[in-house]
Amino acid sequence: MKKSGITIETFVGAGHFQHQVYFSGKIQDVSQEVVDMLQKVNEKLYEEMPQGSKGLISRIEYKHP
């Protein structure tokens, strides 16, 4: 089995959310709509993290033949 997935790293820079998006395996053709939704989830979670927290990374993976 091979793994494919998407990883989104979120941080605040210059007062705005910044995102680094990484794809692995056969998921490179994921729609921008999916990327946008995952970025919004990260932004919401970032707002709820305790003061001084950093290094928010979300990863979704699946196995395929």
Question: Mind listing the pLDDT tens digit for each residue in 8-65?
Answer: 999 999 999 999 999 998 876 788 999 999 999 999 999 999 999 999 999 999 998 8
| 56: exposed, middle or buried (Cβ count in 10 Å: 0-12, 13-18, 19+) | middle
In this prediction the pTM is 0.85
CA dist 10 and 7 (Å) reads: 10
* pLDDT on residue 27: 79
For the chain, the distance separating the N- and C-terminal CA atoms, rounded to the nearest angstrom, is 5
Indicate the SS3 state at residue 26: helix
The predicted structure's pLDDT at residue 29: 74
Given this model, what pLDDT does residue 14 score? 92
